Amino acid sequence: MKLKAMPKIKVRNPVALSPLLQKGGIHETEKPRAQHRRERQNTKQQLRKEVW
């Protein structure tokens, strides 16, 4: 009786482990509109504090 051939072990792809291909890092926690609104509020407050 002949022995069955052993299956070859699949080689791991080293490129897939590259840090460039990992998921994205830190994302924006705040929406752009909210950021814009906050900036506008801050500038308005700064203008109110100044003596004209």
In the structure encoding, which two tokens stand for residue 47, read together?
């203008």
pLDDT of the residue at 23: 80
DSSP label at residue 14: G
Pick the residue with more confidence: 34 or 1?
34
Percent of the chain residues past pLDDT 70, beyond the cut: 96
- The CA distance from 18 to 43, in Å, is 43
Query: Are 15 and 21 a contacting pair, CB within 8 Å?
Result: yes
For the chain, the domains span: 14-50
Asked if pLDDT for residue 48 goes beyond 90, the answer is yes
